[in-house]
Amino acid sequence: MRLRDGKFTFLTLEDETAHNAAILGSFRKNREWLHRSRIERTWSQEPLFIKLTPTLKIPFITWDHLQDFCNRGVAIYAPNNGRFGCRNMKWLEDYAYENWWKLVFLEAAEGGQMDTDDVVAAHGKLLARLSKCQPWFGWPLSISKFDGPCILDQQQPEQYKVKPLYRALVIVADIKPRSEDKEKMVVKLVRTGITAGLSAPVSFAELGMDKDVVSVTLEEALNFVVKLEDREEAAFPKLYPTVLHNQLGRLSYWTGFSRREGYTGGPLDTPSSEWINEDA
């Protein structure tokens, strides 16, 4: 590769392809980082805390939190911690975000305690609420509809889907605020009984158990969920395209921007998941 008269020249087509992939890969990574860092910062300041009523009814939840259930691998619920848990579990927020899980703090009504059946019931009600709101995500909405941080994406609502695995499995963490070895903390993997859309039902056989609720360490739960995610992505490789959030903006503008950085390929008029070969 040489820079001649302000333009890049290449000895081979492979060199040019690698050059363009490096530029687009760096660009995409930086744009995704802007969006992800914004979400991380916002949810760390305003985590999803739900106090249930005596009949387990779900109170009002901002639409941006509901949309944030989409494209996640699994939900991790922290019941019976109250506001104390929200304030003192920053490490769990970071852990959930790094693995692209959704963290939800739950508190039972009147100071009661929640069991796994209550958590699964709340999970189902949250997904039902999302289904009712989802048709409106692409409509222009006033700020009053959010009553929250407003990261709701109204420009690409079709890219926001609840994964079958997210419906089928939850993690319940009965958190102790002063856990020393956090990844060894014991959590519960819970099958919800929903199998629709999965390549195969969730099985705990490899964990040596055959029941709907199993206790494992947080590290074991992570490894188990990652294997399931890999299995589902292998079975349905095109079901959940990795796309940029509306941080990307106008494709024509970013095509020109990339060209100024040395990009020599065609227009950027496809989802960012098609720009580069991530497996190369």
Nearest by Cα to 171 from 55, 79, 98:
79
Query: What pLDDT was estimated at residue 247?
Result: 45
Cβ contact 268:258 at 8 Å: yes
CA–CA dist 75, 274 (Å, integer): 28
Query: What pLDDT was estimated at residue 189?
Result: 96
Cβ contact 215:187 at 8 Å: yes
Give 79's strand partners: 106
Query: What pLDDT was estimated at residue 236?
Result: 79
22-54 pLDDT, tens digit each: 888 777 777 666 666 766 666 666 677 777 776
Count each helix (H run) and each strand (E run) in the chain, helices first.
8, 8
70-89 pLDDT, tens digit each: 888 899 988 865 555 555 56
CA–CA dist 276, 278 (Å, integer): 6
Banded model confidence at residue 280, pLDDT cuts 50, 70, 90: very low
The residue length of the chain stands at 280
User: Does the pLDDT of residue 205 top 80, yes or no?
Assistant: yes
